[in-house]
Structures are given as structure tokens and as C-alpha cells.
Amino acid sequence: MAARCYAIDFGTSNSLLAATDGVLTLPPIGLDPSAPDPTVLKSVLYTPSVGKWYFGAEAVTQYGEHLAEGRLFRSLKKYLPDPSFSGTHVLNRFYNLPELIAVFLRELRERANKHFDQDVTAVVLGRPAVFASDPTKDALAEKRLTSAANLAGFKDVAFCPEPVAAAYEFRHQLDKRRKVLIADFGGGTSDFTVLNMDRDRFTDRDLLATHGIPIAGDRFDGGIMKHMIAPHFGSEIVYRMPMGNNDLHLPQQLINKLCSAADISFLSRSDIMLLLKEAQRWSITPENSLRMDRLFILIEEHLGYKLFKSIEQSKIELSGSEISHFRFDHPGIVVEEELSATKFKEVSADLVTQIVGALDETLLRAGVKADEIEIVCCTGGTAKIPELRVELERRFGADKLRQHRHFHSVVGGLAERAVALGL
């Protein structure tokens, strides 16, 4: 079938692409033949040398085969609303953020063009309900994503909030008109939409409220790292400078980078490494000095991606069991820790509170009480976190919750939105 417009779910963790012929939606295409689900391409890109890029699962494989030489990027979407992040040097040139994201979007477009054997220049892109609570930063994020799409070769660019897209796809499961809450828990954001809908395509007047918060799966991984794993890498080091009497600790800003899958690579900056070396040199206890040795191996051998994949796996295990046996084994680093669901609940409590706070705000904006919601459609892997599930059940009742397709609901809805827009 001929494609006229692409629908792209560019996610913090994963990306998918579907299409329309102007009347019908076409299912997501295979973007990554080496992935367990070829329609899901990890939002990862890697360059070992000038002009050479790898994407998705292949990016991770090539990163290992090249012994972590070059640059690996993940979670680029999270930087869109951040005015302090203008871009970064990649080998011998500077890429601003839209240029870097355009490398990824261009690859999606070229793979789709090859699949459909035609050149498509129209796209509906998903976006969070809220990139940032600051409207200025939210506008900056959409402007940057528009620029990236243009640089990737798209001339006609439209946006659709991701929870609204999920609603387009979910409506086919309804038997009659219902008041529905769509809760989309992704890697970077948690988004909510309240709307009246049935099997027919809904209109904008059916949307009662859309809201969200830039907290989701990656932040839960960061919580595990900060409170359970990072101490093995010297995060709690205490040091005292010569002739000084004060106990010193690593700056919180550095701890935040260490505990972020997207930011940990920035610890390799020369000024940061100098500070870390000084902390190790003047460490009060030999044990903390040994922990810093682990940190330097982690940084210098670019093991952040591998470490956070192990942490993510433990998070998944803790969503279904009381204990996860975490182990990270690399020459010079052996970290073993028994992670408990009780501890995970404790370190995640504030994140859960903020997410359900955004949910409650969505209901308030919609002028709807929780007991008026007839169905709650949950999508995204983070929806499986038990504490979030408990809060949803407490508000709406377990019988109202529906677990929708984790990865494909948004991209399918974006294609439906494209048809509705006449693209």
C-alpha cells in the first residue's frame, strides 16, 4: 500500500513508525530486524567514527565491539525542554540538539522510505502532554523537535499528545460511549488524558483535559541507582582537603548525573574527573578510595549503558517479586546487592506521589471526579510498578483498569490522528 504520511512515536527509550495512505492506517513497520520485536527500535544511536552511525540494538552491539570508542547517545528526548543543553561535540564537530535528534529521525524516515519504496515528507509526531511545567521550556522542546524533523527531511510536521494518540487506538475496544482516563507511563514522562469516547473517532470537544509530568521509568531506575547501587561507586565518599577541618562530599549535581542513564557519560569531562580524583586522593577511608576506583573504571570504559540495563532489569523483577539479586560483573568491578521490593517502594515513594499528583490535577482540570471515570486505560511499561498500580486501584477500583499494548498503542493512534487531520 502507498504511504502518504508517517506516524512516529519518538520515545525516550524506544521508537516506532507506522503510516497512513490518507484513508487507512498502515501497521508499524520493522525498523530493527535484530530486535526481539522488529517494530521497536531502541532510541539509541552510536558513532565510532566520522560519518558512521548505528541505531537501536545494533548501536549497543557496535558500542561493545568498538570497546566503547566514540559516542553513544540515549534518552535524547529528555533534553528537549532543557535550555542549558544546547548540544555536544561528536568526534570532530559540534552538533546542536535538533541536529543530533535529526540523525535518528532521518534514519527512521529512510528505513520507512525503503520499506514503502517512496519518499514521504509528512509526519505526525507524538509528544508528551507536558515536556516541562514551564510553558517557555515546553514551547522550546516542541520547536526543537520540529527543527529536528525538518532537518530529517519532513516538510509537513504535526504533533499529537501521546495519551491522546493512545486514546485513538484504544477506542476500538469500547462497546459504548464512556468517560475514559488514558494513563501513558513511558520512559521519560507520565501523561494523562480524560475524554468522552466510543468506537467512533472522537473530536477535540470530547477531550476534557490533558496533563502530565516529566517523571517516569528512567527516574525509577535512577532511584535504584542512587539509593542501592551508587554507594558501591563512591557516591557517599567523605574526604578532607589538606589543612582543612571540614568533611566534604561530592556535589549533588554530580550525584544526579551518576544516577541518570542519560547523563552519566558527562562524568568523563576533564574538570569533573579532576574533582573526582581529588576526592579519592583525600578520602578519609581506604574503602571509599576502592569504591572510587570502580567509578573510574565505570566512567573510563563507558559502562553506564550496561549498568543501567542491569538496573532496569532489577526494576522489572521487583515489579513481580519481593527480591532481585543484582549483579554487575566487569574486570575491576564486581557489585552484588540483594534489592528488596520494600526498599524500592521506599525510594520510589516521592516519584509515585508526584505522578499521581499530576493524575489528580488532570481530573481537576477535566472537572471530573475519580468515581465518574468508567475505564482507565494504562499503557507503557512503567504502569507495571506495583505502587503506581495500588494508587490507581485506590482511586478507581481494580475492575476499571485496563492494561493496553505497552509499545504499540501510541504509534497506532498517531496514524489514526494523521487520517483525522487529512494528512
- pLDDT value for 403: 80
The helix or strand, by DSSP H or E, that contains position 94, with its residue range, turns out to be strand 93-96
CB 291 within 8 A of CB 232: yes
- pLDDT value for 283: 92
| Listed residue (225, 304, 239) closest to 276, CA to CA | 239
Report how far residue 61's alpha carbon sits from residue 33's, in angstroms, rounded to the nearest whole number: 13
Residue 26 has which C-alpha cell?
498502515
CB 1 within 8 A of CB 411: no
| pTM score over 0.85 | yes
CB 269 within 8 A of CB 257: no
The helix or strand, by DSSP H or E, that contains position 337, with its residue range, turns out to be strand 333-340
Report how far residue 43's alpha carbon sits from residue 13's, in angstroms, rounded to the nearest whole number: 5
Tell me the C-alpha to C-alpha distance, in Å, between residue 301 and each of 41, 199, 335, 389, 416: 25, 52, 16, 38, 44
Report how far residue 258's alpha carbon sits from residue 13's, in angstroms, rounded to the nearest whole number: 18
Handedness of CA 144, 146, 149, 153 (dihedral sign): negative
Backbone angles phi, psi at 352, to 5 degrees: -60, -40
Task: Provide the greatest CA pair distance for the chain.
Answer: 75
Per-residue model confidence as pLDDT tens for the chain (423 residues): 689 999 999 999 899 999 999 999 999 999 999 888 999 999 999 999 888 999 999 998 898 888 778 888 988 999 999 999 989 888 888 999 999 999 999 999 999 999 999 999 999 999 999 999 899 999 999 999 999 999 999 999 999 999 999 888 888 888 899 999 999 998 889 999 999 998 887 888 899 999 999 999 999 999 999 999 999 999 999 999 888 789 999 999 999 999 998 899 889 889 999 999 999 999 998 899 899 999 999 999 889 989 999 999 999 999 889 999 999 999 999 999 999 999 999 999 999 999 999 999 999 999 999 999 999 999 887 888 889 999 999 999 999 998 876 678 899 999 999 998 888
Q: Which residues contact 287 (CB under 8 A, 6 or more apart)?
A: none
Could you tell me the domains of the chain?
A: 5-175+405-421 (3.30.420.40), 219-324 (no CATH)
Dihedral class, residue 367 (left if φ above 0, else alpha if ψ from -120 to 50, else beta): left
